[in-house]
């Protein structure tokens, strides 16, 4: 697999084969690892994505953040190439948005510049290179807001030999799977 397109096709096929039970089980393991990270423990606010279509699930991370008294925000696509984070007080705020991905239907724009960001991705490699969904939303956001600690979460099958890196790519500090933490 040499191109990001080939990598995406491979991972999407693997995700399609994934049972919901395995997705739930792997996500619980990922969540336990994330909750034990100093980056999570020290964060006053967590920016997490709302998972969709058998992505590594964030619901447990969001609920644990609320239980620990942390603020939570999730992204919303607000323009052709723009994404902003909005505070999430309840899962009831989420409605299908851009490409059917759950987004906050209402809420206040999040202002923290040092919140822990839980980053999604289609695939990663051992160097933490990331293949996203191809629209560049996270790369643009993270390049404009560089002080956020970043932790990507993914299933182990999303770790591939090599993800081609481009100059505009922003790599997460850690990648957490159900089996390991890549630093």
Q: Do residues 102 and 95 lie in contact, with contact meaning Cβ atoms separated by under 8 Å?
A: yes
Cα separation of 124 and 157, whole Å? 10
136 a known binding residue? yes
131 a known binding residue? yes
59 a known binding residue? no
71 a known binding residue? no
Using alpha carbons only, what angle is made at residue 110 by residues 137 and 42, rounded to the nearest 5 degrees?
Answer: 95
123 a known binding residue? no
133 a known binding residue? yes
107 a known binding residue? no
Maximum distance among all alpha carbons in the chain?
Answer: 44
135 a known binding residue? yes
132 a known binding residue? yes
121 a known binding residue? no
What distance lies between CA 24 and its chain's CA centroid?
A: 16
69 a known binding residue? no
Residue with tokens 């209402």: 106
Q: 145 by DSSP, 3-state: which?
A: coil
87 a known binding residue? no
From the annotation, which residues make up the binding site for substrate? 55
From the annotation, which residues make up the binding site for ATP? 4-8, 130-138
From the annotation, which residues make up the binding site? 4-8, 55, 130-138
């Amino acid at each position: 697999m040499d191109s990001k397109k080939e990598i995406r096709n491979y991972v999407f096929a693997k995700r399609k084969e994934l049972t919901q039970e395995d997705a739930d089980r792997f996500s619980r393991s990922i969540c336990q690892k994330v909750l034990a990270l100093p980056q999570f423990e020290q964060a006053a606010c967590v920016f997490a994505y709302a998972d969709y279509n058998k992505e590594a699930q964030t619901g447990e991370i969001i609920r644990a953040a609320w239980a620990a008294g942390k603020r939570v925000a999730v992204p919303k696509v607000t323009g052709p190439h723009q994404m902003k984070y909005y505070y999430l007080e309840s899962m009831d705020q989420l409605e299908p948005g851009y490409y059917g991905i759950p987004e906050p239907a209402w809420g206040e724009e999040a202002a923290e510049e040092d919140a822990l960001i839980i980053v999604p991705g289609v695939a990663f490699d051992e160097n933490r290179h990331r293949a996203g969904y191809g629209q560049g939303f996270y790369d643009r956001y993270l390049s404009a807001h560089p002080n956020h600690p970043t932790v990507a979460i993914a299933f182990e099958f999303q770790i591939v030999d090599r993800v081609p890196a481009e100059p505009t790519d922003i790599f997460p500090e850690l990648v957490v799977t159900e089996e390991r933490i890549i630093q």
